[in-house]
Chain A
């Protein structure tokens, strides 16, 4: 059974460029989460979707960040324009939201470097 799939695994881009990160959740999972991890701030939730609908985007740092989930098997996180402070590892996670279950399963992450 495939886990959460993310692409690309590494992205190096110049300041000002648009960056698009992609995620395919585990088949059958109905919740999807985007996280950012840095040494300084640890693992932070950016946005999450339930049944493809954005539920909470309060963690999105600013308008340069946007996320979509057009269907149950695909999501994107876009940064436009990118800045050096956006450099981090971005994780996508998915879960099967049932009563009493909260575990999330993480993808391998995308390491973003903005120069």
Chain B
């Protein structure tokens, strides 16, 4: 069965801390791995990773994919309260479908 597993389920940190969110997957015909941020409303797209070992970076967020070990990490440095959200990992497989993990809920306190 195709699946995406994220860990931890929940994380509470203080502003300025660095966090690492994990995503592992088992799917047939892997195409790409995507990260989304979901605050109170819709998920918003962060990164798409297709190749192993190439880091994608956007400000304080960065992500990397390991296709041999079937996982990805999302790092957030110098966290801010505005980073509080659910972070979703999704894998594109077979055709156009995405399968989502259950997410990691990050809470950043001042």
Contact = CB atoms under 8 A, between A and B. Distances in A.
Contacts of B97: 45, 48, 56
Contacts of B42: 4, 91, 106-109
A20 B96 CA distance: 25
A44 B88 CA distance: 12
Interface stretch (A10-18, A69-77, A96-104): A96-104
Given A102-B31, A103-B48, A106-B43, A43 B96 contact: no
Contacts of B98: 33, 45, 102, 104
A105 B90 CA distance: 13
Contacts, number: 50
Interface residues of A, number: 24
B95 A55 contact: yes
Contact of A50 (B92, B96, B100, B103): B96
A95 B50 CA distance: 17
A42 interface: yes
B84 interface: no
Q: Is the interface of A mostly helix, strand, loop or mixed?
A: strand
A31 interface: yes
B6 to A, nearest CB: 10
A91 B100 CA distance: 13
Nearest to A35: B100
A43 B95 contact: no
A106 B96 CA distance: 15
B68 interface: no
B41 A108 contact: yes
9 contacts: A33-B96, A43-B43, A48-B96, A91-B42, A97-B96, A102-B34, A102-B48, A106-B44, A107-B42
Interface of A: 4, 31, 33, 42-45, 48, 50, 55-56, 91, 95, 97, 100-109
Interface of B: 31-32, 34, 41-45, 48, 50, 88, 92, 95-103
